[in-house]
Amino acid sequence: MDLRTFSCRVLSENCYVLSDGGACVVVDPGFYSDEEFGEFLKLLGDRVPSAVLLTHAHFDHCMGVVRMLAKWPDLPVYMHPAETVSLADDTDIASRLGLHGQSFDFPWKAVEDGATVSVGPAADCDAVSGGIVFKAIHTPGHSPGALCWYCEAAGLAFTGDTLFAGTIGRTDLPHADYDSIIRSIMEKLILLPGATDIYPGHGWASTIGREMRTNPFLEPFNEPSEDFDPDLPGIELHPL
């Protein structure tokens, strides 16, 4: 599998492209202008997106969805239904930051906790039985419908703004809750294999094992993971 990252200018949000054969998934497209979208297309190259996965619907993670759907109208967008409250706030928040004219009116498919999404070639993404398989892990706290997308075959999880390298997502925002994000991480994410690479919505990549050992917000669980090998090579990552 091939993983590439596109750093969006607004809030330095990480948009990821994971591809394998004919399958290509885009996680959190946060580009905000035609110019930035053009740069993203250069990163895609000849890849054709099969699906968009949203970890949550804060404006900086989904500003690029409408532009993607204008180019690929049948592209499915997956999101937790509780994120409708975030979408409802996006236009106002973006405008207050000077990002006028952004649209957050796009169709999406509801994904609940524990659901499996199989992403295949764009032509048959709804019927594909192979492709890249993701498990949706509902991790409320930073936002009500936050999802972490776990791909066991690639040994990685896209953690959005739930878990970062050395910290956790903000909970001083509307609809956020500190106790909920801590429960989400400690009761769900740290149960993933320690060698799992995590790719957050901002900042650097890490691993579940490293965060269990060193993340100050997970201090009660700061202990080595039995299956964590710090020398284990991760998936090849190509920055823009």
The pLDDT tens digits of the residues spanning 65-100 come to 999 999 999 999 999 999 999 999 999 999 999 999
Residues 133, 196: Cα–Cα separation, whole Å: 15
The percentage of the chain sitting over the pLDDT mark of 90, rounded to a whole number, equals 85
Per-residue model confidence (pLDDT) at position 39 = 98
Asked whether the CA dihedral 87, 93, 137, 3 is positive or negative, the reply is positive
**CATH, domain range 2-239:** 3.60.15.10
Confidence of residue 238 (pLDDT cuts 50, 70, 90): very low
158 and 149 in contact (C-beta within 8 Å)? yes
pTM for the full model? 0.90
| Average pLDDT in the chain | 90
pLDDT exceeds 50 at position 163: yes
205 and 156 in contact (C-beta within 8 Å)? no
Per-residue model confidence (pLDDT) at position 219 = 84
Which residues are paired to 51 by β-bridges? 25
Residues 224, 221: Cα–Cα separation, whole Å: 9
Mean pLDDT across the stretch 125-133? 65
Type of residue found at 24:
C
pLDDT exceeds 90 at position 148: yes
Domain ranges of the chain: 2-239
Q: Which of 27, 37, 29 is nearest to 3 (CA)?
A: 27
E strand map for 130-187:
132-138, 147-151, 156-160, 163-164, 167-168
pLDDT exceeds 70 at position 176: yes
Asked whether the CA dihedral 105, 108, 111, 117 is positive or negative, the reply is negative
Q: What are phi and psi of 26, to 5 degrees?
A: -110, 125
Per-residue model confidence (pLDDT) at position 234 = 43
Q: What are phi and psi of 117, to 5 degrees?
A: -120, 125
pLDDT exceeds 50 at position 232: no
Confidence of residue 230 (pLDDT cuts 50, 70, 90): very low
The percentage of the chain sitting over the pLDDT mark of 70, rounded to a whole number, equals 88
193 and 157 in contact (C-beta within 8 Å)? no
* 28 or 239, higher pLDDT: 28
175-182 contacts, C-beta under 8 A, 24 or more apart: 175/85, 175/86, 175/143, 175/144, 176/141, 176/142, 176/143, 177/140, 177/141, 178/141, 179/141, 180/140, 180/141, 181/139, 181/140, 181/141, 181/142, 182/141, 182/217
Per-residue model confidence (pLDDT) at position 154 = 96
Per-residue model confidence (pLDDT) at position 21 = 87
Q: In which residue are the tokens 């997308």 written? A: 149
Type of residue found at 37:
F
* 45 or 236, higher pLDDT: 45
